[in-house]
């Protein structure tokens, strides 16, 4: 169902977030994305009809500043897609305590604060459009854990739990669901050995691409009867 009220995509200036933003704008949605650092392509995105807001969710001040901007400029929202993410391993971290704090700040604290702060805006959007949505982008490792990315996996599990809690709190005006991808797209620097190893972790053994994530977002936005659930995009990896 098309929304007249804008949809926010955090971390929407690259990879899956960017692909979702471009797809939704093409379909006629009003889209707001956040980006952390200055990027040369922001003007191009604005020209395509995407509203771009600079926001750094790695600090409480950054989260509060973003909330204030949106509350000042908008009276209703159609949805929020929490896509902003950090990725770092214990092996590469100089301080594991700071690593854990950063992962939970971006993946749990920021969505928690934003969801609570925008409850009124989402309820207003639901009244105008017939429904509103929150989508948490979690991860396959929230279910299985990770010995190399412990802090990351734990924070994504925390975000997955927020899905259930906010679904209860916001029903029936706002649907709250999650999407949990494993491999969707390789990075340009991934070598052949890594790609082969990653593909063999799933039953379907393929790189599905950004379209798989876009379709999941579209399904949730179009659904009228799903909340508190997670769409797993893992190619049957749990059965390997």
Catalytic residues: 152
Q: 3-state secondary structure string, 8-30?
A: EECCCCCHHHHHHHHHHHHCCCC
8 Å CB contact between 173 and 132: yes
Burial of 216-233, coded b for 16+ CB within 10 Å and e otherwise, reads bbeebbeeeeebeebbbb
Cis peptide preceding 155, ω within 30 of 0: no
Q: Find all residues with CB under 8 Å of 224, minimum gap 6, and list them.
A: 1, 131
Q: Find all residues with CB under 8 Å of 20, minimum gap 6, and list them.
A: 9, 12, 81, 83, 210, 213, 214, 217
Burial of 65 (0-12, 13-18, 19+ CB in 10 A): middle
Alpha helices of 93-200 — where are they, by DSSP H? 96-104, 110-117, 119-129, 141-144, 150-170, 192-199
End-to-end alpha-carbon separation of the chain, Å?
36
CA angle 32, 11, 78 (to 5 degrees): 35
């Amino acid at each position: 169902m098309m929304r007249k009220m804008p949809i926010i995509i955090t971390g929407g200036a690259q990879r899956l977030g960017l692909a979702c933003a471009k797809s939704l704008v093409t379909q006629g949605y009003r889209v707001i994305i956040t980006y952390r650092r200055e990027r040369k392509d922001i003007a191009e995105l604005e020209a395509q009809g995407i509203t771009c807001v600079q926001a750094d969710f790695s600090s409480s001040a950054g989260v509060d500043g973003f909330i204030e901007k949106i509350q000042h400029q908008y009276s209703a929202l159609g949805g929020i897609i929490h896509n902003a993410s950090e990725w770092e391993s214990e092996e590469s971290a100089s301080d594991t305590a700071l690593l854990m704090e950063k992962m939970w700040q971006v993946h749990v604290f920021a969505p928690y604060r934003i969801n609570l702060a925008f409850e009124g805006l989402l309820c207003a959007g639901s009244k105008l459009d017939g429904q509103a949505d929150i989508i948490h982008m979690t991860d396959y490792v929230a279910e299985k854990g990770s010995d190399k990315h412990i802090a990351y996996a734990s924070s994504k599990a925390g975000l997955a739990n927020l899905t259930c809690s906010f679904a209860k709190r916001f029903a029936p005006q706002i649907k709250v669901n999650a999407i949990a991808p494993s491999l969707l797209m390789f990075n340009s620097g991934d070598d052949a050995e890594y790609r082969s190893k990653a593909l063999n972790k799933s039953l379907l053994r393929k790189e599905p691409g950004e379209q798989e994530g876009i379709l999941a977002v579209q399904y949730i936005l179009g659904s009228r009867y799903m909340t508190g659930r997670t769409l797993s995009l893992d190619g049957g990896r749990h059965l390997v």
